[in-house]
Structure 1
Amino acid sequence: MNKFRSARLKLGALALGLASLLGMGGGEAHAQDGPVGAASTATVPIKLALIESLSGPFANTGEAVFRNLLWATERVNARGGVALPAAAGGARPLQISRYDSKGQNEEALSALRAAIDDGARVVMQGNSSATAAALIDAVNKHNERDPDKRVLFLNYSAVDPILTNEKCSFWHFRFDAHADMRMAALMEVLRGDKALKSVYLIGQDYSFGQAVLREARKQLAAQRPDVAVVGDELHPVGRVKDFAPYAVKIKNSGAQAVITGNWGNDLTLLVKAAREVGYSGSFYTFYGNAMGAPAAIGDAGIGKVVAVADWMPNVSGAPSASFYKAFRERFPRPQDDYVHLRMQLMIEALAKAMEGAGSVDAVSVARQLEGIKVSLAGRSASMRAADHQFQQALVVGVMDKQGTPGVPFDVEGSGYGFRVVRDIPAAQTEQLTSCKMQRY
């Protein structure tokens, strides 16, 4: 009897794997195309809703997220899907549906309602902390009103610390290091730059950008009180087309370095403008390692652009290199080269939690996610139960030309990559939390 059951499970896994290769979670969809990767008629997919900017000034970042999550779900589906007991539907594939928030909170909230109506019980978002905060509030209210349709919110990029502190929620899990953790990692490098005496702080004018500059001032005062802050300003998010006036102010301030949490076009246009006005200082960034920034900076960024991330392509070790090469094979266009290990780990953690719970029930899966440990590409991470903040190593890299020691891989076909200069273990990146969570 057990032999027959084993054979059926193997055949089912093979069928799901072939379905994945033939299109289940396969080809890339456009904004508002709906479900990506239709499941076979013999299985009921587990619906995941991606709520993200898929049009407008930050559409490129939304599409980059989609590619990462699509690849992650393809990997799960290729090995047979999420292994659930027969009562929960048996082995089931993951299926992503796309919802375009258009970079607006109200649109994101409408998308959340549509996703829930469409049967999604897991929502994913990250490219705006303001949007994430709105979604946390909406998910909290929905789950109280309609306990039979509770949903989980998986956050891969919204890094305002408040989201796992004052606004922490049982239904929300953050898989990225928050802004204070990232700033502490950058300070590991900045602290050693003894020639640095002045910095310019610039950021996007919303909760995340404000949090970055606030923490920069705090950590500079504590660790480099000798460094003067010669500029400190915020600019509108996604609305500045010409950063030349900002770049001129940065240059005229005499700042030897810029500290910024800017992302997407707000970063690319800023560094491009700085290069064009002849600014020769360094950039300490959260996201300067991709999305067009290295190509925009060019040779001027060699040895001067510093970025922090959960992982970079030039992290040493064969597992990491194999992981990156596999992504490039799946998405061979250079402009698609923006891979996030944390997003892969997020989907792995979700699948593992569902299997551990033996269901897709939000409460059961949330309890499994608390404290879960996952590994991929030679890196490991775990979810802290106290505040649902992922604990993982962080790396800091410095821009250099591909082919120089430590830079076997470039970024987006630019000819520039990032040499890892700090690999900070999870135990060192961890920070205290003020979360007081209501549990279920």
Structure 2
Amino acid sequence: MKALFTAALLCAGSAFAQDTFKIAYIDPLSGPFANVGELMLTHTQYAVEDINAKGGVLKGTKLQLLQFDSKLSAQESQSALQAAIDQGARAIVTGGSGSSVVTALVQAAARHNQRNPGKEILVLNHSSIDPELTGKACNFWHFQFEANTAMKMKAIANYVKKQPDIKKVYLLNQDYAHGKQWAHYGRELVGLARPDVQFVGEALHPIGRVKDFAPYLAKVKSSEADSLITGNWGQDMVLLLKAAGDAGYNLRYFNHSAGSIPGTVLAVSQAKLGQLTWVAEWHPGQAETPKVDALAKAYKARTGKDFLAPRIEMTPRFLAAAINKAQSTDPVKIARALEDLTLDSVVGPVRMRGEDHQLLLPQVVNTIAPVDGKLVKTGWEGTNYGFRTDAAYTGNELAQGTECKMARP
């Protein structure tokens, strides 16, 4: 009788252990980019809570979100990864720490998975846009939920092609993999679209450490550039805009995600000069996006914060859909279910390309501009500046070829 009771307890414990599927969030929650990490965390939390409120996955299994601070460090992120694994996480949500950190996480996860069959972990990347992650360095355990650098720059190049007033371009970027790639693809793709454009200078600066961009802007000004291709984000973008405003320098900026990061619109409004054009799957105030509008309203009601990034909120939903498709919480089966999975998202149908694990989602080129009641109807961040749609492209229009040769388990 005692043995039967013990066995029943063991079975109950096993069943209870499967009542949750643990996801670890690893992104900056301290330091100069903490506001970016908090934004991404809130988007992730909202989706997880909504999925759980609707029954979770597999008819009752709830998602549990663990939180870890990457401190924008590859070493700290790998320590967080090990802590997450020790706590039972089977998927990592990351991307806001930069491509070098995400690459280190992917490599660490792959090593762990090779050494620990049956205890694998997935890496779901919502914001690090290094094309190598779905190219030469592609990995079965990694999934990219954001358009990569080449896709975003192609959208910008298509737009610049129709802007004859852009004549001289300077490349100013953060000194790490992403910054160098934004410069590389800017020179290559904008150069192809506009062979007449002159690239008049290029510089790299330490990420998150420059307090005053005036010396960099002095070099830009001496080059007589009218436009700046910059992959800066977070405080590095805000401080760059401030320095340009203080110097009275009326530049055009071409960026990947600046408008979706808190403080950027405010910085543009305070500078009163310059046009910041960026590209994302959606922007606030975009016309004819009823699904996103409804989500943004519900998000604001629950969190008290502005909704900015559908792809981040979408990432846990893809995971949930794959778990239900696979009818399993085994990461190997989930990964296979994610391949070529199409989700009817708030920005329309999006597909996770199976050959390289690159999500194909639309991209909208838009500019932060003053409210005019026509193209820009709503102000943002308490300012009279909002977002003007300039051009829109489907994921298939921007899709790039891939050098991925993926080894599968």
With structure 2 as the length reference, what TM-score do the two structures score?
0.92
**Residue 426 in structure 1 maps to residue 404 in structure 2:** no
SS of corresponding position for 1:381? strand
**Residue 235 in structure 1 maps to residue 205 in structure 2:** yes
2: CA distance between counterparts of 1:376 and 1:221?
34
Specify the alignment match of 1:341 in structure 2.
Answer: 310
Shift of 1:314: 2.2
Q: Which moved more, 1:296-305 or 1:192-201?
A: 296-305
**Residue 63 in structure 1 maps to residue 38 in structure 2:** yes
Specify the alignment match of 2:160 in structure 1.
Answer: 190
Verify the 8 A CA contact 2:245 2:273 in the aligned structure 1.
no
Specify the alignment match of 2:222 in structure 1.
Answer: 252
Aligned pair partner of 2:301 in 329, 335, 338: 329
> Aligned pairs, how many?
391
SS of corresponding position for 2:30? coil
Shift of 1:104: 0.8
Aligned pair partner of 1:283 in 248, 253, 256: 253
Specify the alignment match of 1:416 in structure 2.
Answer: 385
RMSD across aligned positions (CA): 1.7
Shift of 1:42: 10
Query: Partner amino acid for 1:381?
Result: V
Shift of 1:130: 0.1
2: CA distance between counterparts of 1:423 and 1:330?
30
1: CA distance between counterparts of 2:216 and 2:156?
23
2: CA distance between counterparts of 1:56 and 1:62?
10
SS of corresponding position for 2:402? coil
Query: Partner amino acid for 1:236?
Result: P
After superposition, the Cα gap between the structure-2 partners of 1:147 and 1:47, relative to the gap in structure 1 and judged at 3 Å, is same
With structure 1 as the length reference, what TM-score do the two structures score?
0.86
Query: Partner amino acid for 2:182?
Result: V
Shift of 1:315: 2.4
**Residue 312 in structure 1 maps to residue 277 in structure 2:** no
Shift of 1:304: 1.9
Verify the 8 A CA contact 1:151 1:171 in the aligned structure 2.
yes
Specify the alignment match of 2:3 in structure 1.
Answer: none
Shift of 1:320: 2.6
Verify the 8 A CA contact 2:145 2:358 in the aligned structure 1.
yes
Specify the alignment match of 1:87 in structure 2.
Answer: none
Shift of 1:203: 0.6
Structure 1 runs of 4+ with >4 Å offset: 299-303
2: CA distance between counterparts of 1:390 and 1:237?
27
Alignment of 1:71-110 (within 5 A): 71-82=46-57, 84=58, 90-110=59-79
2: CA distance between counterparts of 1:360 and 1:272?
48
Specify the alignment match of 2:320 in structure 1.
Answer: 351
Specify the alignment match of 2:366 in structure 1.
Answer: 397
**Residue 264 in structure 1 maps to residue 219 in structure 2:** no
What does the per-residue CA deviation read over 1:30-83, in whole Å, with 9 as the maximum and x for residues that have no partner? xxxxxxxxxxx898221100111111111111111101001111111111111x
What does the per-residue CA deviation read over 1:113-160, in whole Å, with 9 as the maximum and x for residues that have no partner? 000000000011102100111011111110000012100000000101
Indicate the percent of aligned positions where both proteins have the same amino acid. Answer: 39
1: CA distance between counterparts of 2:117 and 2:87?
16
Aligned pair partner of 1:296 in 267, 273, 288: 267
Shift of 1:288: 2.6
Structure 2: which 5+ residue stretches go unaligned? Answer: 1-15
Specify the alignment match of 1:34 in structure 2.
Answer: none
Shift of 1:241: 1.2
Shift of 1:199: 0.9
Verify the 8 A CA contact 2:175 2:204 in the aligned structure 1.
yes
1: CA distance between counterparts of 2:382 and 2:37?
20
SS of corresponding position for 2:258? coil
Query: Partner amino acid for 1:433?
Result: T
What does the per-residue CA deviation read over 1:215-265, in whole Å, with 9 as the maximum and x for residues that have no partner? 111113211121111120110011111111112222232111111111111
2: CA distance between counterparts of 1:435 and 1:219?
21
After superposition, the Cα gap between the structure-2 partners of 1:42 and 1:218, relative to the gap in structure 1 and judged at 3 Å, is closer
Verify the 8 A CA contact 1:291 1:338 in the aligned structure 2.
no
